[in-house]
Amino acid sequence: GNSVTQMEGPVTLSEEAFLTINCTYTATGYPSLFWYVQYPGEGLQLLLKATKADDKGSNKGFEATYRKETTSFHLEKGSVQVSDSAVYFCALSGNQGGKLIFGQGTELSVKP
Amino acid sequence: SAVISQKPSRDICQRGTSLTIQCQVDSQVTMMFWYRQQPGQSLTLIATANQGSEATYESGFVIDKFPISRPNLTFSTLTVSNMSPEDSSIYLCSVSNLAGKHGNEQFFGPGTRLTVL
């Protein structure tokens, strides 16, 4: 079945450092891919998405490119801020009634 | 995007009791889902709430334990029945607007944090 694997956390970075959170997936067909973010004590917010191969999703300085050849959707940001501290979830949606399958989440902590 | 509210936002319950969580959306939506997030874990889909018919449950979840209602296109409830400490989790509802189509993002409610003693 479909699945999503993320790099384990927690990830601790200094402010203005470069961020990469790896995400790979297994799916039949052509899923859509998402990154969601969960700030402390809050619900999930959609950060970005890509619906087909080679699409790049971007938002708030974050980017991720849908790589079908490597079945990956790595999240990157060139310069993180303390306010980016949160848990990040990679997810996919295939042809299964629209439901989302989530990775295990990666906690990011950015220090000043 | 839709504005989604959940009630209660948190609750502490005794073992053996039941709790009903409400999810209200400010506009009509096609799809509504219920997820569970156990402490320190990712999200797991419990079921898809179908308007006017029985919910569609994922493997490992059953209607007797998690009865779901969806009387219209803006409202759904999830009941956690006969609770045990293992049910302590955050329960989230989500919505999307394209029936059965991927590529359309889901929007999440703020969640209900449940603690069972």
Res. A8: pLDDT tops 80:
yes
Nearest-Cα distance to chain A for B38, in Å, is 11
What is the Cα–Cα distance from B15 to B11, expressed in whole angstroms?
13
Nearest-Cα distance to chain B for A68, in Å, is 15
**Chain B CA closest to residue A30:** B102
Q: What is the reported pLDDT for B50? A: 87
- What are the residues of chain B with a beta carbon less than 8 Å away from any beta carbon of chain A? 31, 33, 41-45, 48, 56, 58, 92, 94, 96, 98-111
Q: What is the reported pLDDT for A91? A: 95
**Six token digits for residue B15:** 């073992």
Q: What is the reported pLDDT for A96? A: 65
Torsion of CA A57, A68, B59, B87, to 10 degrees: -40
Question: B3-23 pLDDT, tens per residue?
Answer: 899 999 999 999 999 999 999
Integer angstrom CA distances of residue A61 from A79, A80, A84, B103, B117? 8, 9, 10, 22, 42
Q: Do B105 and A49 touch (CB under 8 A)?
A: yes
Percent of chain B with pLDDT strictly greater than 90: 75
Q: Which residues are CB-neighbours of A59 under 8 A, at least 6 positions away?
A: A47, A48
Q: Which residues are CB-neighbours of A25 under 8 A, at least 6 positions away?
A: A2, A3, A4, A5, A31, A33, A71, A72, A73, A90, A92
What is the Cα–Cα distance from B50 to A95, expressed in whole angstroms?
17
Q: What is the reported pLDDT for B90? A: 95
What is the Cα–Cα distance from A19 to A26, expressed in whole angstroms?
23
Amino acid at A77: K
Integer angstrom CA distances of residue B67 from A30, A37, B9, B62, B103? 33, 28, 19, 8, 28
> Band of the pLDDT at B100, cuts 50, 70, 90?
very low
**Six token digits for residue B56:** 């569609």
